[in-house]
């Protein structure tokens, strides 16, 4: 009887600890969080995975374009610094989420993904 509540406390603590680890590797951020991360991390690598045509329609000033559809995308990803944080965005958040998973597999330490993508940045007026 007495062991059951204690087990639940340990289990919840373990799950919370593990969840925290996952979030640390790959964090989805809002447009305002995106802006704060850019402002507070001068060495951050901002990667826009939209197409060159989308890039021409507007972009984050310090972003580097790595086209999601480029056949050499994996080589371009490998050229990034795995020890520096990476902030990804695309038009609506889908493509950048997929690239975030690839970066995680490649051993990148800190990955942020803009949920809602560039469209939400523009809508919130923080680009």
For 67-111, the pLDDT digits (tens) are 999 999 999 999 999 999 999 999 999 999 999 999 999 999 999
Q: Is the pLDDT of residue 20 over 70?
A: no
What pLDDT score was predicted for residue 8?
46
pTM of structure: 0.78
Q: Is 90 a catalytic residue?
A: yes
Q: Which two tokens stand for residue 32?
A: 């305002």
Q: Burial level of 86, CB count in 10 A (0-12/13-18/19+)? A: buried
Q: How confident is the model at residue 26 (pLDDT cuts 50, 70, 90)?
A: low
Catalytic annotation, pick one of 2, 18, 21, 90: 90
């Amino acid at each position: 009887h007495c062991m059951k509540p204690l087990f639940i406390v340990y289990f919840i603590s373990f799950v919370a600890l593990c969840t925290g680890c996952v979030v640390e590797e790959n964090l989805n951020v809002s447009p305002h969080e995106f802006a704060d991360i850019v402002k507070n991390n001068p060495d951050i690598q901002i990667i826009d995975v939209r197409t060159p045509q989308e890039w021409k329609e507007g972009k984050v000033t310090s972003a580097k374009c790595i086209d999601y559809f480029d056949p050499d995308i994996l080589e371009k990803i490998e050229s990034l610094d795995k020890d520096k944080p990476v902030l990804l965005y695309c038009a609506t958040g889908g493509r950048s989420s997929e690239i975030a998973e690839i970066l995680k597999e490649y051993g990148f330490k800190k990955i942020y993904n803009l949920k809602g993508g560039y469209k939400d940045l523009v809508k919130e007026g923080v680009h």
